[in-house]
Amino acid sequence: MSYKIVNVVGARPNFMKIAPLMAAYRRTTDFEPLLVHTGQHYDEKMSDLFFRQLGIPEPDTNLGVGSGSHAQQTAQIMVGFEEVIREHQPDAVLVVGDVNSTIACGLVAVKRGVKLIHVEAGLRSRDRSMPEEINRLLTDAISDLLFCTEQSGVDNLIQEGVDADRVFLVGNLMIDTLLANVDRAKASTVLDDLGLEEDRYAVLTLHRPSNVDDPSAMARILDALEVIQAELSVVCPMHPRTRKNIEAFGLTSRLEAMPGIRLIDPVGYLDFLKLMSSARLVLSDSGGIQEETTILGVPCLTLRENTERPVTLDRRGNRLVGNDKGAIVGAYQDVRDLPKDGVDPPPMWDGKAADRIVEVLQSHLLEPAAVRA
Ligand code: UD1
Ligand code: UDP
Ligand 1 near 68 CB (within 6 A): no
Mean pLDDT value of segment 284-295: 97
CATH number at 186-335: 3.40.50.2000
Our CA angle for 123, 340, 279, nearest 5°, is 80
Does 341 have pLDDT greater than 90?
no
- Per-residue pLDDT tens over the stretch 163-187: 999 999 999 999 999 999 999 999 9
Average pLDDT over residues 199-227: 97
Q: How far apart are CA 366 and CA 164, in angstroms?
A: 20
Residues acting as catalytic residues:
207
- Residue 47 main-chain phi, psi, to 5 deg: -145, -80
CA 121, CA 132: separation in Å to the nearest integer?
12
Q: Which long-range contacts (CB under 8 A, 24 or more apart) does 335-341 make?
A: 335/281, 335/299, 335/301, 336/232, 336/280, 336/281, 338/299, 340/199, 340/280, 340/297, 340/298, 340/299, 341/297
Q: What is the pLDDT of residues 29-73, one digit of tens each?
A: 999 999 999 999 999 999 999 999 999 999 999 999 999 999 999
Atom of ligand 1 nearest to the CA of 97: 11
What does the pLDDT average to over 187-203?
A: 97
Contact 38, 65 (CB under 8 A): yes
Q: Are 255 and 359 in contact (CB under 8 A)?
A: no
- Tell me which of 48, 99, 175, 272 to substitute to probe ligand 2's pocket, judged by most ligand atoms within 8 Å of the beta carbon: 272
Per-residue pLDDT, averaged over 139-144, amounts to 98
Whether 186-335 and 3-171+352-372 are alike in CATH topology: the answer is yes
Contact 241, 207 (CB under 8 A): yes
Round to whole Å and give the CA distance between 332 and 338.
10
* Backbone phi and psi for residue 254, each to the nearest 5 degrees, phi listed first: -65, -40
Compute, in angstroms, the gap from residue 66 CA to the centroid of ligand 1.
9
Percent of the chain residues topping a pLDDT of 70 = 98
Does the beta carbon of 207 lie inside 6 Å of ligand 1?
Answer: yes
Q: Give the pLDDT confidence score for residue 368 in this predicted structure.
A: 63
Q: What is the pLDDT of residue 148?
A: 99
> What is the average per-residue pLDDT within 264-292?
98
| Three-class HEC string of the chain | CCEEEEEEECCHHHHHHHHHHHHHHCCCCCEEEEEEECCCCCCHHHCHHHHHHHCCCCCCEECCCCCCCHHHHHHHHHHHHHHHHHHHCCCEEEEECCCHHHHHHHHHHHHCCCEEEEECCCCCCCCCCCHHHHHHHHHHHHCCEEEECCHHHHHHHHHCCCCHHHEEECCCHHHHHHHHHHHHHCCCCHHHHHCCCCCCEEEEECCCHHHHCCHHHHHHHHHHHHHHHCCCEEEEECCHHHHHHHHHCCCHHHHHCCCCEEEECCCCHHHHHHHHHCCCEEEECCCHHHHHHHHHCCCEEECCCCCCCCHHHHCCCEEECCCCHHHHHHHHHHHCCCCCCCCCCCCCCCCCHHHHHHHHHHHHHCCHHHCCC
Q: Return the CATH number of the domain spanning residue range 3-171+352-372.
A: 3.40.50.2000
With bands split at pLDDT 50, 70 and 90, how would you rate the model's confidence at 372?
A: very low
Q: What is the pLDDT, as a whole number, of residue 314?
A: 85
From residue 157, give the alpha-carbon distance in Å to each of 92, 121, 246, 322. 21, 8, 38, 27
Residue 225 has pLDDT above 90, yes or no: yes
Testing ligand 1's pocket by substitution, the residue of 41, 65, 272, 289 carrying the most ligand atoms inside 8 A of its CB is 41
- pLDDT score of 157: 98
Instruction: Find the mean pLDDT for residues 309-313.
Output: 97
Ligand 2 binding pocket (C-beta < 6 A) is 12-13, 16, 174, 205, 207, 237, 266-267, 269, 272, 286-289, 292
Question: 98: pLDDT confidence band, cut at 50, 70 and 90?
Answer: very high
Give tens-digit pLDDT for 116-141: 999 999 999 999 999 999 999 999 99
Average pLDDT, the chain: 96
d(CA 269, CA 253): 29
pLDDT score for 338: 86
Q: Is the CB of 43 under 6 A from ligand 1?
A: yes
Q: Provide, rounded to the nearest whole percent, the portion of the chain with pLDDT above 90.
A: 94
Handedness of CA 292, 295, 301, 303 (dihedral sign): positive
Q: What is the pLDDT of residue 373?
A: 43
- For residue 197 and ligand 1, the question of a CB distance below 6 A is answered with no
Q: Is the pLDDT of residue 370 over 50?
A: no
Residue ranges of the domains in the chain? 3-171+352-372, 186-335
β-pairing, 92-96 vs 61-62, is unpaired
Span 10-34, average pLDDT: 97
With a 6 Å cutoff on the Cβ, whether 13 touches ligand 1 is: yes
Smallest Cα–Cα separation from 2: which of 366, 245, 251, 342?
Answer: 366
